[in-house]
Amino acid sequence: MDAVLNIFRSVATTPALLVGLIALIGLLLQKKPATNVIQGSIKTFAGFLILTGGSTILSNALTPFAKMFKFALGVQGVVPSNEAVVAIALVKYGSTASLIMLVGMIVNVLLARFTKFKYIYLTGQAMLYVACLSAVIMVSAGMGAGWKSILLGGLFEGTLFTVTPALCQPFMRKITKGDAVAMGHTGDIGYAIAGLCGKWFGDKKHSTEDINFPKSLGFMRDSTVSISIVMAIVYIILAIICGPHFVEQNLSKGTNYIVYAIVQAGTFAAGFAVVLQGVRMILAEIIPAFQGIAQKIVPNAKPALDVPIIFPYAPNAVLLGFIVSFLVGTICMFIMVAMHTTVIIPGVVGHFFCGAAAAIYGNSMGGRRGAIIGATVNSIIISFLPLFVLPVLGDLKMAASTFADTDYLIPGILLGKLGETGAIALTTGIIAFTVIVILVSMFMKSPKATDNK
């Protein structure tokens, strides 16, 4: 049983393989020629590997940034990191989480098939992470690790992953200028809030992408160049604050600290360029392939894909969102120090990916001002809500890390609070959540059939 679960978990949490298989199924359902099936499946698979590789490069380049930041400020506390806290959770809850994820995927497909929320969630690692969160809360509520926790956790996860892309889709249409792809990331609730803030308080006449550089600075229009320059300035300032001894002894292995900072900035920009290339390959292949799924299994279905899928649409907003989100997170950290609460140290990776996306959403509805406001609001949410999710994480509340994104934090807090009142309240709450989603769907206008080409 454990071997089967391990195979399932490995496939489902490897986005490249999962989405490659989805592309394969979609092309086979369309009865495409064998050459098209092979080409589309492999290029989708390779595109996701490129995107994942780019994301890894970005994350690795941000690691020394986080260490320098922590040393410069001398602050100790909890660092929001989904990967770290899930690694701890899987040791104790691995089998339960895997089965919750399997049930959640089935629930997602069924709800997409029979309701008007036509979104198939394809971000495998996010499914596993939410399954871990669900398992921890179920067990902490006294439901054990058996079939009740698995079925209820899966019902909760599948419903959550059906409805959160729907919250983002009005903004995705603005961002992508189409309706063929959805957002499948655990920051969806925050991105929708950022989009609303941009709509209410922004000014869409002035987009982040309309920045007019003087002719002498025309090279700044190239996202790779602009990101390299801006990040180099940030890294160099941080390296100077930390001093050559700390950087060269602990990070650069003897390389000059300024040179090291410049290389890390360039590595960050290179990772971003790799992500963009992977996105282009995925969009070129997965959307036509997914048409087979939409036609045969879930009519008008849209694939909900990981957050870097939107980065090419507003690269200036990506950089602006990261900087704003991280700065706001730092301010929030100092507020926590002054309030003598648990201190949530800004997670650099979380603030990059979520801050960037929040700015893109804010920009789509409210231009530059919307991007700044959206990234700010999202940053405040992911900075302070970990204080409220920690108490409901059972054994994990003592870990030095916690969940980082809004789709863990907001549902996790609500689920955890229900769990504190007992298994009956938790069961009732999860079933009510699914019933409400179904009822809302029944009264929605039917979505227009879309051409996912």
Residue 445 pLDDT level (bands cut at 50, 70, 90): confident
Residue 399 pLDDT level (bands cut at 50, 70, 90): low
What are the contacts of 435-438 at 24+ separation with CB within 8 A?
437/111, 437/115, 437/117, 437/159, 437/162, 437/163, 438/111, 438/115
What does the H/E/C string look like for 51-93?
A: HHHHHHHHHHHHHHHHHHHHHHHCCCCEEECHHHHHHHHHHHH
Retrieve residue 159's tokens. Answer: 């419903």
Write down the pLDDT at residue 451.
42
Write down the pLDDT at residue 409.
92
Write down the pLDDT at residue 450.
45
Mean pLDDT of the residues in the chain: 85
Retrieve residue 331's tokens. Answer: 């301010």
Q: What beta strand segments (E) does 261-339 contain?
A: 302-305
**What does the pLDDT look like over 417-438, one tens digit per residue?**
998 888 899 999 999 999 999 9
Q: What beta strand segments (E) does 269-399 contain?
A: 302-305
**What does the pLDDT look like over 307-350, one tens digit per residue?**
989 998 998 898 899 999 999 999 999 999 899 888 888 888 88
Q: Scanning the structure block, which residue is given the tokens 């889709």?
A: 169
Tell me which residue of 309, 304, 314, 315 sits closest to 284, measured CA to CA. 309
Q: Which residue has the higher pLDDT, 52 or 377?
A: 377
CB-based contacts of 108, cutoff 8 Å, min separation 6: 119, 120, 121, 157, 158, 161, 162
Write down the pLDDT at residue 1.
62
Q: How large is the average pLDDT for residues 271-287?
A: 79
Q: How large is the average pLDDT for residues 64-81?
A: 78
Write down the pLDDT at residue 361.
97
Between CA 95 and CA 281, with CA 164 as vertex, the angle to 5 degrees is 85
Cα(16)–Cα(312) distance, integer angstroms: 19
Instruction: Assess whether pLDDT exceeds 60 at residue 398.
Output: no
Write down the pLDDT at residue 384.
94
- The Cβ of residue 24 has, within 10 Å, a number of other Cβ atoms equal to 19
Count of CA atoms in the C-beta half-sphere (13 A) of 224: 9
- The Cβ of residue 400 has, within 10 Å, a number of other Cβ atoms equal to 13
> Three-class SS of residue 404?
coil
**What does the pLDDT look like over 246-278, one tens digit per residue?**
999 989 888 999 999 999 989 988 888 888 788
Q: How large is the average pLDDT for residues 157-183?
A: 94
Q: Of 108-112, 215-219, 355-359, which gets the smallest average pLDDT?
A: 215-219
**DSSP string across 119-155:** EEE--HHHHHHHHHHHHHHHHHTT--SSHHHHHHHHH
Cα(160)–Cα(186) distance, integer angstroms: 10
CB-based contacts of 40, cutoff 8 Å, min separation 6: 23, 24, 27, 32, 285, 288, 289
Write down the pLDDT at residue 453.
38
Write down the pLDDT at residue 216.
64
**What does the pLDDT look like over 206-248, one tens digit per residue?**
898 887 756 665 555 666 777 788 788 888 988 999 999 999 9
Between CA 72 and CA 81, with CA 76 as vertex, the angle to 5 degrees is 100
Q: Of 66-75, 79-88, 400-409, which gets the smallest average pLDDT?
A: 79-88
> Three-class SS of residue 212?
coil
Instruction: Assess whether pLDDT exceeds 90 at residue 140.
Output: no
Write down the pLDDT at residue 219.
59
Percent composition of the chain: helix, strand, coil (DSSP 3-state, to 5): 80, 5, 20
Cα(193)–Cα(361) distance, integer angstroms: 9
Q: How large is the average pLDDT for residues 154-159?
A: 96
Of 139-148, 164-173, 402-411, the range with the highest mean pLDDT is 164-173
Buried b (16+ CB within 10 A) or exposed e, 333-360: beebeeeeeebbbbbbbbbbbbbbbbbb
Q: Of 58-62, 320-324, 391-395, which gets the smallest average pLDDT?
A: 391-395
Q: Of 34-38, 138-142, 300-304, which gets the smallest average pLDDT?
A: 138-142
Q: Which DSSP category does 313 fall into?
A: G
* Whole-number percent of the chain with pLDDT over 70: 90
What is the pTM for the complete model shown? Answer: 0.82
Cα(330)–Cα(401) distance, integer angstroms: 17
End-to-end C-alpha distance for the chain, whole angstroms: 40
Q: Of 6-20, 50-64, 184-198, 348-362, which gets the smallest average pLDDT?
A: 6-20
Q: Of 148-157, 200-209, 290-299, which gets the smallest average pLDDT?
A: 290-299
Strand partners, 402: 80
Write down the pLDDT at residue 452.
41
